[in-house]
Amino acid sequence: MIRKKILLLGDFGVGKTSLIRRYVDRTFDDRYLSTIGVKISRKQISLENELYELLIWDIEGETPVRAIPKSYMKGAAGAIFVADVSRSHTIDDLDRHIQRFNEINPGAPHVLAYNKCDLLDEKRIQKIVQGSDALPVSAKTDYNVEKLFESLVRRIVQ
């Protein structure tokens, strides 16, 4: 079995924990639970006849004033950067998160997730996502969650 460390990064309240819970435990909870520090979840998947154990690091939200410790990010095979599609500033902040991640893990693949797409109509989501590499997802409805994680793992193993 091959182990891969994956990070979920983004601002506070964008749904990183909810995405992990949906993917790992197949559950969703409307209550907001702020992550303090880091919580590590495990999930085994089979991809292209190989068994992988994903060590999914749910890291507390980062702000311009409060940075995530570099030690949390070291050794990551890849990252999912999460924004809240209903709060444009969280989308704008992705560049800062990506830049910091790339400084510590140069060349490591990543994917972008615009979470909470269940809060907007399809037309508005398409307008926001247009011209971006981001995948619209919803932890609440389970929309594209499996696809999100699988796309990152495929990039890691290529």
> Under CATH, to which class is 2-157 assigned?
alpha beta
Q: How confident is the model at residue 156 (pLDDT cuts 50, 70, 90)?
A: very high
Mean pLDDT of all residues belonging to the chain: 91
61 in Cβ contact with 35 (< 8 Å): yes
Q: How crowded is residue 154: how many other Cβ atoms within 10 Å of its Cβ? A: 13
Give the single-character DSSP code of 117. Answer: G
Q: What is the predicted pLDDT for the residue at 59?
A: 84
State pLDDT tens for residues 5-62. 999 999 989 999 999 999 999 999 887 666 776 889 999 999 889 999 999 999 877 6
Measure the CA dihedral 19/20/26/28, to 10°: -50
| Pairing mode, strands 110-115 and 38-47 | unpaired
101 in Cβ contact with 144 (< 8 Å): no
Q: How confident is the model at residue 4 (pLDDT cuts 50, 70, 90)?
A: very high
Indicate the domain borders of the chain: 2-157
> What is the pTM assigned to this prediction?
0.92
State pLDDT tens for residues 69-92. 788 899 999 999 999 999 999 999
- Phi first, then psi, for residue 35 (nearest 5°) are -80, 130
